[in-house]
């Protein structure tokens, strides 16, 4: 019967137009099992406060488990008249436990404190799935880096050749932001584990129910301090949505490099056949669709958090029905990453690198000019002059169609008497890379340490 949770003061049921607008079972059914967990915990609190005797508690729990099994098998589904998952499950409980027992469960709780709790339980469960996939991606990036210890590629700023770097250093540079996302998830989970259950509609319960008991029954760390805040706040949902969007942004930045590296002009990578797609008209095409979908879906993840923040802005306390709009964006962000990450991880794990092509391009574009300037500084030339001399050498080479290591001893001396033949020692990409031994630098010795640290950090998650 429509409006089954609140029919008493109404002479008529809801109009079909309202019922259609109000209905959320088509998406909040995802929360059914968490709703049952919440109900079982609430029954324990009712028992502790003397509103259910021990036999009633056992019968209530049994009926709720039957209901859970019936939801899982599809034997119990939402009816046309059910407004949301909570009202549907109360109907299911009364059908299974009878109105005398089933009708007792709602005492001292509201859908407002229920829903605020259930979305936390949902997020915490999926946080562990997403965390596992992110740990796997960091391991895959570390593995690819370790598999190419000496490979050197052009490092870029402004997408222009800047300085040569190790491929391993570049790959690890994509791993560290994901480690920070893992840290964000861990920090967030401390806040997510606080329980709103027991706050009631907004003001708390008069029945002597213990919110701490409900929290511990649910495996949460404790009850929230303020019943109004408990039912009204969704910052913990928004924060999770932000972290998922940030993960998407990080994937999109790696995706963009893979898309570029996979072009004929770069030729740095080859995608495995099973992680790339073809064209319906051009037989030769092999496209980086996973990377493109990651780039595209990052926009969707940003849209979800943006929409949620817009819903929350200026919303008065405590519960307002607007808050029902928190669920679809967060469910969508979770679903998006849980589908994207397995494909993305497979693409990275099976990527092959053309390290010869990278090494060929690495010294081009005068990317060793900084090494010339720093060599001059080590010879006692002040940096302003060294920068100027190195720039003049670049100009000489550009005008004469030479690379930096190609001028003769006489030509070097003509650019500047400080440019002795020994400068050629730093004019190799290996010399350049391995001179950058400062902390966090691209020298092989530093990158080897870095990769060990990266692996070590994964133990935290």
Q: Work out whether 30 is an interface residue with ligand ARG (CB under 6 A).
A: no
d(CA 213, CA 4): 28
Q: Work out whether 84 is an interface residue with ligand ARG (CB under 6 A).
A: yes
| CB nearer to ligand ARG: pick between 102 and 200 | 200
Q: Is 158 annotated as catalytic?
A: yes
Segment lying near ligand ARG (by CB under 6 A), choices 110-118, 127-135, 306-314, 437-445? 110-118
d(CA 127, CA 270): 32
Q: Work out whether 112 is an interface residue with ligand ARG (CB under 6 A).
A: yes
According to CB under 6 A, which one of 51, 188, 197, 319 is a site residue for ligand ARG? 319
List C-alpha distances in Å: 393 to 223, 401, 422, 459: 69, 12, 15, 49
| CB nearer to ligand ARG: pick between 28 and 257 | 28
Q: Minimum distance between the CB of residue 443 and ligand ARG, rounded to whole angstroms?
A: 55
Segment lying near ligand ARG (by CB under 6 A), choices 135-143, 148-156, 321-329, 424-432? 321-329
- Residues sharing a CB contact under 8 Å with residue 385, sequence separation 6 or more, in sequence order: 376
Count Cβ atoms within 10 A of the Cβ of residue 445 and give its class: 0-12 exposed, 13-18 middle, 19 or more buried: exposed
Q: Minimum distance between the CB of residue 24 and ligand ARG, rounded to whole angstroms?
A: 5
| CB nearer to ligand ARG: pick between 1 and 399 | 1
Contact 415, 393 (CB under 8 A): yes
Q: 């709720």: which residue's tokens?
A: 64
Q: Minimum distance between the CB of residue 87 and ligand ARG, rounded to whole angstroms?
A: 8
d(CA 35, CA 217): 13
Q: Work out whether 366 is an interface residue with ligand ARG (CB under 6 A).
A: no
Q: Work out whether 111 is an interface residue with ligand ARG (CB under 6 A).
A: yes
d(CA 209, CA 44): 9
Size of residue set near ligand ARG by CB under 6 A: 10
> Please, which of residues 257-316 interact with ligand ARG by CB under 6 A?
none
Task: Indicate left, alpha or beta for 381 from its phi (over 0: left) and psi (-120 to 50: alpha).
Answer: beta
Q: Minimum distance between the CB of residue 323 and ligand ARG, rounded to whole angstroms?
A: 5
* Strand duo 269-270 + 222-223: pairing: unpaired
Task: List the catalytic residue out of 158, 206, 274, 280.
Answer: 158
Q: Minimum distance between the CB of residue 113 and ligand ARG, rounded to whole angstroms?
A: 10
Q: Minimum distance between the CB of residue 77 and ligand ARG, rounded to whole angstroms?
A: 17
Q: Minimum distance between the CB of residue 86 and ligand ARG, rounded to whole angstroms?
A: 6
| CB nearer to ligand ARG: pick between 84 and 371 | 84
Hey, how many other C-beta atoms are within 10 angstroms of the C-beta on 423? 22
Q: Is 128 annotated as catalytic?
A: no
| CB nearer to ligand ARG: pick between 28 and 217 | 28
| CB nearer to ligand ARG: pick between 88 and 290 | 88
Segment lying near ligand ARG (by CB under 6 A), choices 147-155, 241-249, 256-264, 319-327? 319-327
| CB nearer to ligand ARG: pick between 204 and 441 | 204
According to CB under 6 A, which one of 30, 33, 324, 355 is a site residue for ligand ARG? 324
Hey, how many other C-beta atoms are within 10 angstroms of the C-beta on 45? 26
Q: Minimum distance between the CB of residue 287 and ligand ARG, rounded to whole angstroms?
A: 40
State CA 423 to chain mean position distance: 46
Q: Work out whether 323 is an interface residue with ligand ARG (CB under 6 A).
A: yes
Q: Work out whether 24 is an interface residue with ligand ARG (CB under 6 A).
A: yes
Task: List the catalytic residue out of 15, 128, 272, 279.
Answer: 279
Active site residues: 158, 279
Task: Provide the binding-site residues for ligand ARG, judged by CB under 6 A.
Answer: 24, 28, 84, 111-112, 115, 319, 321, 323-324
């Amino acid at each position: 019967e429509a409006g089954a949770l609140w029919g008493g003061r109404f002479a008529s049921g809801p109009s079909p137009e309202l019922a259609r607008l109000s209905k959320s079972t088509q998406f909040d059914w995802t929360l059914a099992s968490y709703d049952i967990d919440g109900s079982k915990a609430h029954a324990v609190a009712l028992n502790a406060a003397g509103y259910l005797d021990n036999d009633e508690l056992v019968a209530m729990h049994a009926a709720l488990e039957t209901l859970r099994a019936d939801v899982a098998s599809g034997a119990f589904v939402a009816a046309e008249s059910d407004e949301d998952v909570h009202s549907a499950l109360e109907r299911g409980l009364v059908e299974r436990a009878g109105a005398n027992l089933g009708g007792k469960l709602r005492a001292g709780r509201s859908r407002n404190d229920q829903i605020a709790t259930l979305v936390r339980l949902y997020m915490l469960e999926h946080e562990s799935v997403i965390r596992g996939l992110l740990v796997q991606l960091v391991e895959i990036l570390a593995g690819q880096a370790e598999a190419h210890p000496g490979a050197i590629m052009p490092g870029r700023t402004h997408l222009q050749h800047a300085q040569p770097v190790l491929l391993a250093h570049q790959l690890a540079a994509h791993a560290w932001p994901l480690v920070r996302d893992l840290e964000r998830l861990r920090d967030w989970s401390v806040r997510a584990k606080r329980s709103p259950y027991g706050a009631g509609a907004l003001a708390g319960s008069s029945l002597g129910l213990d919110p701490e008991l409900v929290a511990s029954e649910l495996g949460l760390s404790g009850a929230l301090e303020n019943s109004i805040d408990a039912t009204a706040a969704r910052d913990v949902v928004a924060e999770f949505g932000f972290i998922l969007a940030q993960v998407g942004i990080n994937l999109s930045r790696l995706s963009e490099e893979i898309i570029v590296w996979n072009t004929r002009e770069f030729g740095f990578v080859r995608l495995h056949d099973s992680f790339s797609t073809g064209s319906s008209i051009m037989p030769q095409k092999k496209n980086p669709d996973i990377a493109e979908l990651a780039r595209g879906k990052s926009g969707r993840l940003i849209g979800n958090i943006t929409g949620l923040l817009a819903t929350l802005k200026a919303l008065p306390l405590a519960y307002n029905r607007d808050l029902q709009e928190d669920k679809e964006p967060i469910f969508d962000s979770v679903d998006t990453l849980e589908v994207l990450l397995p494909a993305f991880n497979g693409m990275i794990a099976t990527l092959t690198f053309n390290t010869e092509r990278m090494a060929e391009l690495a010294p081009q574009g005068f990317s060793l000019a900084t090494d010339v300037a720093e060599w001059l500084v080590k010879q006692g030339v002040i940096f302003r002059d060294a920068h100027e001399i190195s720039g003049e050498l670049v100009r000489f080479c550009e005008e004469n169609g030479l690379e930096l290591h190609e001028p003769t001893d006489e030509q070097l001396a003509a650019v500047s008497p400080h440019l002795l033949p020994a400068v050629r020692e730093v004019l190799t990409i290996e010399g350049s890379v391995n001179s950058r031994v400062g902390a966090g630098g691209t020298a092989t010795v530093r990158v080897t340490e870095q990769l060990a640290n990266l692996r070590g950090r994964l133990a935290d998650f």
